[in-house]
Structure 1
Amino acid sequence: MMLTRRALRSGALRQLRLSSLRSATRLYSEVAPSASEQQQVQQKEEFKHDQVADVASASAAATTVTEAASDSVPWYLRSSETYTQLNPALNEPIPEFPENAPESLKTLVTEMIRELGFTDVAFIDLRNRTPVSVFGADAILVLATGNTDRHIGRGTNGLITFIKHNFNVVPSQEGIQTSGFLKVQRRRLKKKAKKLANADETFSYSAEASRFANSWVVLDTKVDSLIVHMMTPEKREELDLEYVWAEDPAALEEQRQLQLEQEESAAEASLEMEHQQQQQPSSSSPFSTQGSIRGYHTYPTNKRWFSSQPPCLNLTQAFSSPNTPPLPTNSTTTTLDLAAIKGDYKTAIALAQTSADQDSVLKAHINHLFSAQPALLTNESDVVKSFFSEFPKMPTKQDHRLRLQFLIKAHELNPKVFRLRALEEHLINQQASGLLVDLADVELVLSAIVSSKEYDSPDKTPFQISRKKSRVAYYMFKDILRPQGTDLSYNIYQLLFRLWLDVPELSLAEALKNPAPAHDETTGEVIVERVPVLTSQAMTLFKFLRTSPRRMNQSVIYLALTAFANDNRWSYFFNLWHTIDEHLVFDNELFTRVAALVVKSGNRDAMLTFFETILQKQLMANPFLLDKPLVAIVKEGLLVLDPSESGFKHIREVVSIASL
């Protein structure tokens, strides 16, 4: 390399001297050169040609040396490397834009990806939607993912500045928190956590602090009806706005399921190919990481196979014998899977001795319970004894999950023998073994408590049975979730509502099927009074959820609305509706269900409140709100409120237009 540089430098200097000499000759020569001078010039030209050839050959040699050494030179020292290695944002692909998208959308998205570093940008085209969305007829939602809440905060400020300078408008934002506000809130949370440290209450600092983070920021750009949603990966997965605004949610869910299956099959094929490559004889050193020792890390979940192998006697045996179990053949796998599906646990046990797949054995026992007869299953049954004998001595988290499913199904078949207390003891034992209990396990047990028939008796009211079940759920939360400091999930809130509600006479499914109010067969009057279904625990839960509407999902909302309509607690009903309209995402499906419950109840005061305030307001904001199901519900309500057809002229005009 040093010789090459010297050759280049000397050649350049000689060429510079020749050019200087030629320029001087042209400037100061006033007469024609003599013969001797011409001979000198010719010699200099030949010398210059030779030097240029030397420079070219030296440059070619330097290029060859550079290319040969490119593999050994780090990427940050190579002159041929592009800027994309220093800036990963340039590697993020620009998504495909919607058809006939405005140029401003392309400009904003390019800025968000290339300069601000947002990833996984997607679009929700709300144009030409029927009915028109609340964002307008030309709205396009832009969804983007930020790395952290701090990244989203800085990216939002950068995007606002970009829009001001390039489009001369001031966008409006919601969800951004200033640094001063965050400092104050974090200081308050620390004081609250310290205050509750010695109290008999749980406090999740991380969960409370996440409420004040910039995990979801919405920016109304005021440019061509573009709405930008910037979220953290966790918040984006939780909200799933693609599913909320999908034109066909069922097709989207099917597409996601198909994509997930393809990814799983590709991962399994890659794993099998890697395993086959590792099983081939290798000429590498026994101490190399390319030998069969890598196979030990290929199957981390199949711990039973390794525990059943005898210990290695010496170092040679440890590296010469393969550490991975042979993959079972397709016929063995198919037979074992069929035995597990059919519930033939005896055949599964015999096949598992050759394939070392104990999970299929446990699943075979569980599937066998689906064909068992109720009240005949006891602790002395063969399937029960076989399951606990095949249960591994060093169980994994998956093993505990299968054991829990077995106990839940056994409790369903014979609740007097397999009691609810056994489910709680299972979770306690799992937690004591060092494997933390997931919320999914708690949801399984709580679902079993809700549907349990252990406390059913003719001399007990539904509220008394609910009180006994609530005691079991309380001790489970106290012993399992409170030590972990885990917050409850949407599904747990929904299950608690179902636990504290009786079966309502006025159901949502019936109201959607036939919105006409029920009438007394003898008198013909509208039936308004019904048997109450709400307990004091359910009301307490609702008041707690109302303080934080984000904890309520769709199922919890439907349960609460149905219960309030059944008990004629219309103040709670409409307060919940206003909370939904103010804080949560509004959709036509939810509005149709609210209208069906109000009309089906037959309560004139509730229907007047709904028609004169809520329906009028929504029709003013969206004249195309009424679809066919909602039109049928509104017509049934008008028959009860105004049989003479003299009032509600505006609503009747909209209904007549929507009926065309």
Structure 2
Amino acid sequence: MALPTSSVWLRLSRSLSTIRTANRPCQITCLRGLHSSARQLQDAEKDQNEPGQSENHLADQPAQVPWYLRPDVSPKVTSPLKTVTMPELPENSQEDLKKVVEFLAMRLGIEDLKVFDLRDDKDDNVNEGAKDIANFMVIGTGKSTKHLQKAATELNYFVKHKLHELPATEGIISSGEISRFQRRLRRKGKGGPQYAKLDYGASANSWVMTDCKSNGIYVHMLTKERRETLNLELLWSKDKSKYGRHETAKETDDIFSGLRYYHTTATNASRGTFSNLIRLYSIQAESTQDTEFRPDLITRSNYTKRYRELKEGHLANPNKVPIVNIQNHFDAMQFNGLPLTVDDVYDYIDLICQSREFHLGLQRESDVYNKRYHYAVYILNRYSPVLSKPEDIKKLLPLLAVSGSQFDNDHFLTLEKLPKLSDEELLKMGEEVFKYSPVVHKLYQLSLSLTGKHLDSQRFQAEMDLLCLTIFVNRKNWVYAKKVIDNSLKREDLNILKAALRLLAVKGDISICYKFLDSYYPLLSLYKGFNIAEESRYVRIMLDRCDPDGTLHEEIREALL
């Protein structure tokens, strides 16, 4: 006898529970009836699974087949996730983008998905500055703040295990953190004004952003209200005409989330910590020329032109155009979606090195290069320029080395100053010592790690060697000066020996000059670019210093005749 399947037993479980309370004869009779019904149900399932049987065959037997086995009566459960419309993906996009978008739509229930391609297209329709940040921006709407928190967590798990990347997410706040923020808010808001009791930053975030770390894919998930307020589509779309600006009915401090009461209290306001924050799409700065600056015209050429005007005004009169105006200008560029490039940061650091206002009140030599170097690092951390190529780092390294030294001092000895100085002036400058930041050592080691076999890399390292050699010789740090010379000789760059001859002749002591003539001068004499007649002045100074009696280095003295 064939036994009923497990599915049939599940359907009869409730009926069996009622039979257990009856007497045995009735129980046996009911069991026989239920067993007969089970056999009928099993035969019906077998007929349904046989090939050639249609759904109408079951529909034609209403008396024999239960309602839940009839397709025309049994309801079909459908999920709203299966009806989500997938957005159109850009051409030549990676497979990872498709996987992420499908996961957001089909598994997480993110609605109204839009994908923005920030790469350069064939029509030169470029969203200026956006391509330096990412390749694709995905924007979607969540159902609630809790939905966003859960979706962000699931997306992190998906990226980590399916794309094999470690994502970075901003905006996830645990329930414990929210409770702690709310308690702090109630405690601070008791004696504060009404606006200090707002819940910005003390509730679940309505905007979560995830950097997938794969092919430049960024995902923004927002609530419907927050998405309409921020209007991120206007920021990342190439065709700005499709998305107009939304004028909010009243001003909110959404952009200052977490700063609410802190930056409005009298104690903290007096510190000036937040006094330089710029409102979005606006800037208030003093004009230095007749040309009018339009902050609403968000183009790189417009803001670059304004920076040049501020730079000229600051170098001419720092009191009229203080350096804080230039920092405010760069902050406005960042807020308006124009990230600073390596060239912008280079010009900014170069301006700091020339600024009289920046060096005002600095008396000790160590204070000068320490303040300049730390401010240069502050600029890099604040604006985070994209250093995607080794050439970008190579451009910044020499400037950072100069900012960490006293290269701009009038008495600092350089190769350009040597031909213009008399012998007496050379003797005076040879006695002075100029300190530098220890970070210059790390910058030199970093430059060595970037040097490859290409011609451009060799040229960059040769320039870096000359710069570091000049800094080390002015400090009279002969250990690192020797390292620079030896590393150059390993690359068969004998041009460094000409520079070392000139600098050591002025700054070197007796032992250094003797070692150079004994170890390095024979190699220098074999160099095709070396002409002893042109370098005779420095060779004589070095010979007089290490051998005033003229008893040594006879071959060199004969070559001078």
Identify whether the pair has TM-score above 0.5, normalized to the shorter chain. Answer: no
Q: TM-score normalized by structure 2?
A: 0.43
Q: TM-score normalized by structure 1?
A: 0.37
Higher relative helix content: 1
